[in-house]
Amino acid sequence: GHIVRNWKVRWFVLLQDKLLYYKIEGGKKEPSPKGRILLDGCTITCPCLEYENRPLLIKLKTKTNTDYFLECCSREERDSWALDITGAIHAGHPVQVQELHRMKNSFKLLENISLHHIVERMCDSSTGIKLTRNLEQGNRYKETFTGSALVDWLISNSFAVSRFEAVTLASMLMEENFIKPVGARSTEATRYSDLSEQFLDDSTALYMFAESSKKKISSKEELQFNISELRGTIVKQGFLVKQGHKRKNWKVRRFVLRADPAFLHYYDPTKEENRPVGGFSLRGCLVSALEDNGVPAGVKGNVQGNLFKIITKNDIHYYIQASSKAERAQWIEAIKPLT
């Protein structure tokens, strides 16, 4: 928000020359836009590292110097939005758009490599990356490492076979807020919008572990949860309205459907940390639409229709509202093959 600096769920629509955003009420977007961002003369920063606990940000600065910070649901969605917005900004420059597509497609995390596992290895007291004190432009920095040192470490520990691959992994670690730049040299590089220029393979560029990375790997149980449930391929994601199990109230939640392993997780969009507040395995589940002619048993409160129901193999019932019949059908169609 521009006046009260809080974070709110908004529904965005990208047009050729502007971004429209709508207010969400009861899982539905209002007919008139809440506001608009004119793209002519905009500059885009992605990833934006101005908020340490929000690694999935896009920053837009208009030609009137108004800053917009937009948080996405995942790295894939963030990069996709950034690519399409950049394409709209540079619509008259097809070569730049092609280059952005090439860069986006080259930044893929190799299969069976977990960023959490890499950071855990980096923090190992005996085999991890060596932390040193460094001096840059009169400023002293404790427990830092250089960009070239991290690239060397990733290659020597077989996480990458080339310096390009190592820079790709290091960029992802920075994008996901496991590491952060410190000092003028590395911080200046983050102002570039091209992903290839975010992380520097340089002996004068300094980096350190972000505070949030220590929290992410502090618990073995939490680490196992992240690897086993959240590593699946994202099949579908979006905002739906879910009924609570205890208070039976309805709240907007961001749902993420993953395959292999098949899980449905939901997130609280008002919370800063990007961790699910709930989720369950889809194996053995039943999913079906509920008729709109009356309130089904087990459903309470403000029901606007377009309901569907998921019953887990442990007989836990989830009631969820979509914004339209078409959206409900899309979710059911996506979930069914994974049960």
**Which of 2-6, 177-181, 220-224, 282-286 is least confident?**
220-224
Mean pLDDT, rounded, for 66-70: 92
Spatial contact of 285 and 263, defined as CB atoms under 8 Å apart:
no
Question: Torsion over CA of 226, 227, 230 and 234, rounded to 10 degrees?
Answer: 150
Q: Residue 132's pLDDT is what?
A: 87
SS3 300: coil
Is pLDDT of 163 > 50? Answer: yes
Q: Residue 92's pLDDT is what?
A: 56
Structural domains in the chain, CATH included, are 10-105 (2.30.29.30), 115-218 (1.10.10.10), 227-336 (2.30.29.30)
Is pLDDT of 31 > 90? Answer: no
Tell me which of 150 and 186 has the higher pLDDT. 150
Tell me which of 322 and 74 has the higher pLDDT. 322
Residue 60: count other Cβ atoms within 10 Å of its Cβ.
22
Q: Distance between CA 118 and CA 114 in Å, rounded?
A: 6
Q: Residue 317's pLDDT is what?
A: 87
- Please state, in angstroms and as integers, the Cα–Cα distance from residue 196 to each residue in 46, 166, 168, 177, following that order: 11, 12, 8, 17
Q: Distance between CA 118 and CA 166 in Å, rounded?
A: 12
60-65 contacts, C-beta under 8 A, 24 or more apart? 60/19, 60/85, 62/37, 62/38, 63/38
Type of residue at 67: D
Q: Distance between CA 180 and CA 75 in Å, rounded?
A: 17
Q: Residue 261's pLDDT is what?
A: 87
Beta-sheet pairing, 67-71 with 139-146: unpaired
pLDDT-based confidence at residue 98 (cuts at 50, 70, 90): low
Q: In the chain, which ranges are continuous DSSP H helix? A: 75-89, 94-106, 115-122, 147-156, 163-175, 184-189, 211-216, 220-230, 325-335
Which tens digits make up the pLDDT trace of 195-219? 556 788 888 889 999 865 554 444 4
Tell me which of 246 and 154 has the higher pLDDT. 154
Least Cα distance to 223 among 68, 114, 301 occurs for 114
Mean pLDDT, rounded, for 89-102: 59
Phi, psi of 22 (to 5 degrees): -120, 150
Residue 267, beta-bridge partner list:
254
Mean pLDDT, rounded, for 230-256: 84
Q: Residue 336's pLDDT is what?
A: 93
**Which of 74-88, 103-117, 296-310 is least confident?**
103-117
Is pLDDT of 137 > 80? Answer: no
Q: Residue 215's pLDDT is what?
A: 47
**Which of 27-36, 41-50, 197-206 is least confident?**
41-50
SS3 322: coil
Tell me which of 172 and 44 has the higher pLDDT. 44
DSSP 143-189: EEEEHHHHHHHHHHTTS-SSHHHHHHHHHHHHHTTSEEEESHHHHHH
Spatial contact of 257 and 234, defined as CB atoms under 8 Å apart:
yes
Q: What is the mean pLDDT of the chain?
A: 79
Which tens digits make up the pLDDT trace of 265-313? 988 877 766 778 888 889 888 888 887 655 666 676 666 678 899 988 8
Where do we find the tokens 């087990």? 298
Least Cα distance to 88 among 46, 45, 123, 43 occurs for 43
Q: Report the sign of the C-alpha dihedral through residues 145, 150, 152, 154, in that order.
A: positive
Is pLDDT of 194 > 90? Answer: no
Is pLDDT of 221 > 80? Answer: no
Is pLDDT of 118 > 50? Answer: yes
CA angle 156, 162, 165 (to 5 degrees): 105
